Amino acid sequence: MHSLSFLQLLFPSIPTYITYTWFVMALLAFFSFLATRRLQMTPGVFQNAMEVFVGAIDKLLLDTMGHHGKRFFPLIATLGFFILSSNLIGLIPGLESPTSNLNTTVAMALVVFFMTHIVGVQVQGLKYFKQFMGPV
């Protein structure tokens, strides 16, 4: 069932999943701005919520990847916040989740796929590809 959303009325020639992707990105940028505009020792509501989320992702990376996980924090945190926000947007009646479209999920998967191999080559050099050849 397709519904005509308010974003479809604003941007009729752009597919809905792209407009909702931009909507989620703008929402994340807005909340990040609210959380970081006046950082204090005693955090406000937005700063406190953001510190909880960032702290949880930081602890997860530290537990699973050790100190090497700090390098991947921006990518994993961005993908995590984007996927969470996209799925929560889809729960609101009349709105569509950007992650419900295969194009969005494939784009995120390709970023992670290529990032994995780029980092593998950076860390191990061309010997990285040897692991894909089996016993030689």
Q: Which of 104, 53, 99, 96 is CA-nearest to residue 76?
A: 53
Q: Encode pLDDT of 8-33 as tens digits.
A: 677 778 888 888 899 999 999 998 88
Residue entry with tokens 């990376």: 61
Q: Encode pLDDT of 53-86 as tens digits.
A: 889 999 998 999 888 888 889 899 999 999 999 9
Instruction: Using pLDDT thresholds of 50, 70 and 90, give the confidence band for residue 1.
Output: very low
Global confidence as pTM: 0.80
